[in-house]
Structure 1
Amino acid sequence: MPQPTQSFVRNCLLSVLDADGYAAIAPHLEPIALPKGIVLIEGGMPFTHAHFFNSGIGSIVISTADSRRVEAGLVGREGLSGFGCLLGADQCPQTTMVQVEGDGYRVAIDALRSACRESRSLHETILRFIHVFISQTSFTALSNVSQSIEGRLARWLLMCHDRVSGDDIALTHEFLAIMLAVQRPSVTTALHMIEGYGFIRARRGNIKIVDRDALVEFADGMYGVPEAEYRRLIGPFS
């Protein structure tokens, strides 16, 4: 299978690598569809592959034995899943699943580790992404304990908007309830409130961002810091 050229890939991490860094990882990139609902990493099971997203969104979900679940973080074209393998771990308790379908490349864990040993550029770029992801999850924790459901939802919609092309996000109320760890009626009420302000337009299975700037203001400081850190250390989400 021919290797994808660097100008062709839409994953931001792959696109900013220097020539040596991309040459180290390119032979191991396997194109893959990422349909909605597919599990990329099963919590408590050994890592097998990391995934560089070209499009779509993956959710990192933590759950308990009694089936309580909440999203701890999300990843799209700005990053990759399975990065814990580069931190000395062979598995993690979180499950990573695709919440918005897309496509990308998968890389066997041993191949990713080998490529990172070969290329300092590749290794350091992924480590900078991990730093930004930790910042994202820190703000998620702060948002969960300090914001209303409406504020949390606004932040989460902005994060999804960063990772899709266009203003439409394919999301159901049921999935939103899982991600925000609330009951479905609470999601419906929050969506109606934000829609009433004119920030979004919600239809069955789809949410359209209408006024992004107003949505950012409504998120009340919980959105923007990790995103600025990404731009500072890596580059734009494009």
Structure 2
Amino acid sequence: MVQSQQSGVRNRLLQRMSVDDYALLQPCLKLLPTRMRQTLIRPYEPVTQLFFPEVGYTSVVADVAGSRIEVGVIGREGLVGLSPVLLDSVSAPYHEFVQCPGEVLVVSTAHFRAAVDRSSTLRTLMLRYLQTTLIQARHTAYANAAYTIDVRLARWLLICHDRLDGDDIPVTHEFLSIMLGVRRSGATLAVQTLESNLLIKARRGCITVLNREGLVALADGCYGVPEAEYARLIEGS
């Protein structure tokens, strides 16, 4: 299925493009469903397609010496696979896979590069978005070094909540341990802490956000800086 109308897209990058820039990509944008844990980008393999999430989100995970940790989350605010393509480096050492299933708009790397080469405004938008992903990754490193697990969990839940329409976040405790870079027991204890404070409700395979304002207060400076930079750089506010 080819996406034809810019007014119908949910991806915020596509929404922010000029009509002319969107027209450069539109002929090759194909809407496809995604499934849980579907690989979109394999580490060290050439990126042949890029993905604009419409519904759901993707995890960017680093795997070093058998230790896996999430270094980024990409939802409908962004584009999966951009960095090696825009920077002409072919591949990246990260596994990018669907964490919350939904739909993506897919474009070939060749078509995307041709569009960016033709339009300086499209390239500028993509570079600004790339800057927001670097800020997110660096803030994640800061959070992992400076905050306790329960605070980091609050931040992570807010990041996921930002990329959903509802309050239910599909995740297991095992998956949380990868996302937070801790043992499963540590992730479970953090979930119990937030649940005891009535911030979330946990059940098998799902966490429901009950009190977003409370999560923001718990996250403190751990959450908000990358989000504000996205608003400034992409949405002009």
- Give the structure-2-normalised TM-score: 0.96
What's the CA shift string for 1:68-110, capped at 9, x where partnerless?
1000111000001111211111000011011111101111111
What's the CA shift string for 1:150-169, capped at 9, x where partnerless?
01111000000000111111
Q: Distance in 1 between matches of 2:26 and 2:203?
A: 40
**Secondary structure of 1:186's partner?**
helix
What is the identity percentage for the equivalent residue pairs of Structure 1 and Structure 2? 43
Q: Paired residue for 1:79?
A: 78
- Following superposition, the deviation at residue 34 of structure 1 comes to 1.5
What's the CA shift string for 1:192-228, capped at 9, x where partnerless?
1011111111111111111111101101201001101
Q: Paired residue for 1:94?
A: 94
Q: Mean Cα displacement is larger for which, 118-127 or 103-112?
A: 118-127
The 8 Å contact of residues 52 and 105 in structure 2, kept in 1 or not, is answered as yes
Please, which runs of 5 or more residues in structure 1 have no aligned partner? none
**Secondary structure of 2:110's partner?**
helix
Q: Paired residue for 1:201?
A: 201
Q: Paired residue for 1:112?
A: 112
**Secondary structure of 1:60's partner?**
strand
Q: Distance in 1 between matches of 2:117 and 2:129?
A: 17
The 8 Å contact of residues 28 and 111 in structure 2, kept in 1 or not, is answered as yes
1:40 is aligned to 2:40: yes
Q: Distance in 2 between matches of 1:38 and 1:172?
A: 16
Q: Distance in 2 between matches of 1:142 and 1:185?
A: 22
Q: Mean Cα displacement is larger for which, 155-164 or 1-10?
A: 1-10
- Following superposition, the deviation at residue 119 of structure 1 comes to 2.0
The 8 Å contact of residues 168 and 207 in structure 2, kept in 1 or not, is answered as yes
Q: Distance in 1 between matches of 2:103 and 2:226?
A: 24
The 8 Å contact of residues 21 and 120 in structure 1, kept in 2 or not, is answered as no
The 8 Å contact of residues 168 and 207 in structure 1, kept in 2 or not, is answered as yes
1:49 is aligned to 2:52: no
- Following superposition, the deviation at residue 19 of structure 1 comes to 0.8
Q: Distance in 2 between matches of 1:121 and 1:53?
A: 21
Q: Distance in 1 between matches of 2:235 and 2:35?
A: 27
Q: Paired residue for 2:69?
A: 70
- Following superposition, the deviation at residue 170 of structure 1 comes to 0.9
Q: Paired residue for 2:233?
A: 233
Q: Paired residue for 1:217?
A: 217
Q: Distance in 2 between matches of 1:81 and 1:153?
A: 23
- Give the structure-1-normalised TM-score: 0.96
What is the root-mean-square deviation of aligned Cα atoms in Å? 1.2
- Following superposition, the deviation at residue 16 of structure 1 comes to 1.1
**Secondary structure of 1:220's partner?**
helix
Q: How many residues align?
A: 235
- Following superposition, the deviation at residue 2 of structure 1 comes to 4.5
Q: Distance in 1 between matches of 2:76 and 2:205?
A: 22
What's the CA shift string for 1:34-62, capped at 9, x where partnerless?
11111111001111111000011101101
Q: Paired residue for 1:153?
A: 153
Please, which runs of 5 or more residues in structure 2 have no aligned partner? none
